């Protein structure tokens, strides 16, 4: 018979080997994690919605789309706006997100339940979004015909020429679905973790709202793609595409 | 040979905390109402493997045998469960038994779960009434408060919620759902709430509530059906308010 005293001794000796207990007052993970959560909504999510709405102008034709790009690229302090509200938050959210993924141990094999699948899907849609957005930003913002500083008239044709490849369209569809899902479920997670939707019913109801948001965004995204794809070559001004 | 009246168990065994694990198979005759702890007792009574090789009885924790002490939690057919309430008739055979994977192994199916006790101490999961004189009776609690608090007080410290959590591991050092639920319980208590600010600040440290990824396995595996995800959301809100107060009012 082991005495209670000896079992207490083994416990205190072994606790160093397992998962560490809570480290009160140590580290910055609380601020960094909450900032990660918030940055996904504001400014990234807000920009995402603006971006989807602006791009849907493509369904109205070349001129409407180029005018929208003209409006956005001629905003005052546009370079400050894009670095402070788009590039830096995206870099932070993406890189810290990879770190969050590294720290979690997905276990849907053992526990194949809805919440656990959503947990895993948030990581997979996150990495797809990371790769897609990296490509999208480099291709559209930094390579080829420049749309900033008066280049707005080339906006529609720049996208249109890209969409001549079915592979690019496929990649955009995957990117739009992943980003929309990641954002909508991120809003749900934000509400749950920040204590806005506390009860089970509230979280379930808000789940329907977020699912509708995801479907709406995917719908707008795909509709926008058709705006480019269905525009005949004759309506698209030729642009030197290097 | 296995027939409809026999039970096959595959048990992952380990002699010492440092030694290599190995598997042993046992065949028992089925009795109505049999559960995993009673099967382990049968093995202890006749510790011979299915191949006829004499072995040692399997080490495991258990006490109450009625899902109230929390000690017999283990991995049963891949999932964290209480051995006492896992009825053999409801389990797919061969039944695999493994020790918890995220806690130091003492021997066989017995693991060291003292990290939960340590976490409960760090968040001061108690009502502070110690003193040198009688403080008298505490404030009355409404029946609504009691109804919220009672399910939280059902926690049996089995650690199933932590074992099943994808975020509870060496990399995060996440505190786990059980401790967060106890923070909610003691923060809601009229006298226990004296330590509310302290508890919330502790939960902001590394491994705190922020590590929750809302996979919601905790609430699914909890044998006592504690409202764990609701508690994480509620305490998450309390921690955020505390953080906002710390930021703007100090």
Is residue B86 very low, low, confident or very high in pLDDT (cuts 50, 70, 90)? very high
* Nearest CB neighbour to A22, from listed B123, B162, B234: B123
Model's pTM, two decimal places? 0.93
CB contact under 8 A, B205 and A24: yes
pLDDT digits (tens, 9 = 90+) for B87-140: 999 999 999 999 999 999 999 999 999 999 999 999 999 999 888 998 888 899
Cα-Cα-Cα-Cα dihedral of B142, B148, B153, B156, to 10°?
A: 160
* Nearest CB neighbour to A21, from listed B122, B209, B215: B122
DSSP line for chain B:
---TTEEEEEEEE-SSSSSPPEEEEEEEE--TT-BHHHHHHHHHHS-B-TTS-B-PPPP---SSSSSSS-TTEEEETTEEEETTT-BGGGSPSSEEEE--SSS-EEETTEE--HHHHHHHHHTT-S----SSS---------HHHHHHHHHHHT-----HHHHT-TT-STTT----HHHHHHHHHHHHSTTGGGGHHHHHHHTTSBTSGGG-----HHHHH-TT---HHHHHHHHHHHHHHHHHHHHHH-
CA atoms within 13 A on the CB side of B32: 0
Q: Does B222 touch chain A (CB under 8 A)?
A: no
CA-nearest of B23, B44, B22, B30 to B2 is: B30
> What is the predicted pLDDT for the residue at A7?
43
Residues of chain B with Cβ-Cβ distance to A100 below 8 Å are 213
Could you tell me the residue range of the domain that residue A130 belongs to? 30-235
* Nearest CB neighbour to A34, from listed B169, B174, B210: B210
Is residue A9 predicted with pLDDT exceeding 90?
Answer: no
CB contact under 8 A, B169 and A193: no
- Architecture of the CATH domain B114-249: Orthogonal Bundle (1.10)
CB contact under 8 A, B112 and A14: yes
Q: Does A29 touch chain B (CB under 8 A)?
A: yes
What is the C-alpha separation between B51 and B40, in angstroms, rounded?
Answer: 17
The shortest C-alpha distance from A113 to chain B (Å) reads 7
> What is the predicted pLDDT for the residue at B135?
83
> What is the predicted pLDDT for the residue at A240?
61
pLDDT digits (tens, 9 = 90+) for B177-197: 999 999 999 999 999 999 999
Q: Which whole number is the average pLDDT over A41-47? A: 98
- Residue B94: cis peptide before it, omega within 30 degrees of 0: yes
Q: At what angle do helices A44-55 and A166-193 cross, to 10 degrees?
A: 140
State the average pLDDT for chain B: 96
Is residue A40 predicted with pLDDT exceeding 80?
Answer: yes
Residue A45: inside a domain: yes
Q: Which whole number is the average pLDDT over B43-61? A: 97
How many structural domains is chain A composed of?
1
> What is the predicted pLDDT for the residue at A14?
46
Residue A8: inside a domain: no
pLDDT digits (tens, 9 = 90+) for A49-106: 999 999 999 999 999 999 999 999 999 999 999 999 999 999 999 999 999 999 999 9
What are A72-80's contacts with CB under 8 Å, separation 24+?
A73/A147, A73/A148, A73/A149, A73/A151, A73/A152, A74/A152, A78/A148
Q: Does B167 touch chain A (CB under 8 A)?
A: yes
In chain B, the percentage of residues whose pLDDT exceeds 70 is 98
CB contact under 8 A, A111 and B220: yes
Q: Which of residues 189-208 of A touch B (CB under 8 A)?
A: 189, 192-200, 203
Residue A5: inside a domain: no
Residue A16: inside a domain: no
> What is the predicted pLDDT for the residue at A16?
59
Q: Looking at chain B, which residues constitute the CATH 1.10.1060.10 domain(s)?
A: 114-249
Residues of chain B with Cβ-Cβ distance to A120 below 8 Å are 215
> What is the predicted pLDDT for the residue at A10?
45
In chain A, the residue whose alpha carbon lies closest to the alpha carbon of B208 is A22
Q: Does B216 touch chain A (CB under 8 A)?
A: yes
In chain A, the residue whose alpha carbon lies closest to the alpha carbon of B233 is A195
> What is the predicted pLDDT for the residue at B131?
86
Which of A122-126, B44-48, B126-130, B165-169 shows the lowest mean pLDDT across its residues? B126-130
CB contact under 8 A, B170 and A19: yes
What is the C-alpha separation between B121 and A22, in angstroms, rounded?
Answer: 10
Residue A7: inside a domain: no
CATH label of the domain that carries residue A177: 1.20.1300.10
Residue A20: inside a domain: no
Q: How many angstroms separate the Cα of B111 from the Cα of each of B62, B105, B154? A: 12, 4, 22
The shortest C-alpha distance from A25 to chain B (Å) reads 5
pLDDT digits (tens, 9 = 90+) for A185-201: 999 999 999 999 999 99
Preferred mutation among B60, B164, B169, B173 to probe A, highest tally of A CBs within 10 A: B173
Q: Looking at chain B, which residues constitute the CATH 3.10.20.30 domain(s)?
A: 6-111
Q: Which of residues 46-65 of A touch B (CB under 8 A)?
A: none
For domain B6-111, say whether CATH 3.10.20.30 is its number. yes
Residues of chain B with Cβ-Cβ distance to A15 below 8 Å are 104, 112, 114-115, 118
Is residue B3 predicted with pLDDT exceeding 70?
Answer: no
Residue A12: inside a domain: no
Q: Does A111 touch chain B (CB under 8 A)?
A: yes
More confident residue, A106 or A146: A106
CB contact under 8 A, A192 and B233: yes
Residues of chain A with Cβ-Cβ distance to B208 below 8 Å are 22, 29-30
Q: Does B203 touch chain A (CB under 8 A)?
A: yes
């Amino acid at each position: 018979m082991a005495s209670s005293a000896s079992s207490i001794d083994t416990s205190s000796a072994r606790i160093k080997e397992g998962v560490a207990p809570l480290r009160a007052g140590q580290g910055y993970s609380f601020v960094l994690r909450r900032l990660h959560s918030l940055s996904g909504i504001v400014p990234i999510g807000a920009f995402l919605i603006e971006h989807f709405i602006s791009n849907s102008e493509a369904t109205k034709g070349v001129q409407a789309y180029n005018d929208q790009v003209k409006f956005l690229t001629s905003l005052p302090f546009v370079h400050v706006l894009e670095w402070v509200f788009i590039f830096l938050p995206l870099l932070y959210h993406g890189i810290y997100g990879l770190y969050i993924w590294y720290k979690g141990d997905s276990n849907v094999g053992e526990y194949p339940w809805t919440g656990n699948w959503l947990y895993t899907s948030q990581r997979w849609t996150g990495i797809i979004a990371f790769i897609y957005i990296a490509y999208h930003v480099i291709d559209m913002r930094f390579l080829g015909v420049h749309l900033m500083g008066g280049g707005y008239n080339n906006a529609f044709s720049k996208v249109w020429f890209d969409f001549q490849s079915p592979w690019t369209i496929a990649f955009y569809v995957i990117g739009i679905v992943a980003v929309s899902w990641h954002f909508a479920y991120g809003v749900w997670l934000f509400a749950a973790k920040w204590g806005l939707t506390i009860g089970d019913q509230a979280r379930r109801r808000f789940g329907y709202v977020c699912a509708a948001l995801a479907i709406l965004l995917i719908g707008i995204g795909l509709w926008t793609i058709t705006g480019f794809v269905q525009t005949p070559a004759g309506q698209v001004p030729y642009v030197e595409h290097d | 040979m296995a027939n409809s009246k026999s039970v096959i168990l595959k048990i992952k065994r380990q002699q010492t905390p440092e030694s290599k694990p190995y598997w042993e198979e046992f065949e028992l005759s089925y009795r109505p109402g049999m559960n995993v702890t009673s099967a382990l007792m049968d093995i202890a009574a006749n510790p011979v493997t299915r191949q006829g090789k004499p072995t040692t009885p399997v080490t495991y924790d258990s006490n109450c045998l009625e899902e109230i002490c929390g000690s017999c939690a283990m991995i049963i057919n891949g999932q964290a469960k209480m051995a006492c309430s896992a009825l053999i008739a409801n389990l797919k055979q061969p039944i695999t038994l493994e020790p918890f994977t995220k806690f130091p192994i003492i021997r066989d199916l017995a693991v060291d779960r003292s990290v939960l006790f340590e976490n409960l101490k760090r968040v001061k999961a108690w009502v502070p009434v110690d003193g040198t004189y009688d403080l008298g009776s505490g404030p009355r609690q409404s029946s609504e408060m009691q109804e919220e608090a009672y399910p939280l007080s059902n926690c049996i410290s089995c650690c199933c919620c932590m074992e099943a959590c994808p975020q509870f591991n060496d990399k995060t050092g996440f505190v786990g759902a059980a401790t967060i639920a106890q923070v909610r319980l003691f923060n809601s208590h009229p006298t226990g709430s004296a330590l509310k600010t302290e508890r919330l600040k502790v939960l902001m440290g590394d491994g705190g509530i922020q590590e929750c990824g809302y996979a919601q396995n905790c609430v699914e595996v909890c044998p006592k059906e504690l409202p764990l995800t609701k508690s994480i959301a509620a305490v998450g809100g309390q921690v955020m308010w505390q953080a906002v107060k710390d930021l703007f009012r100090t």
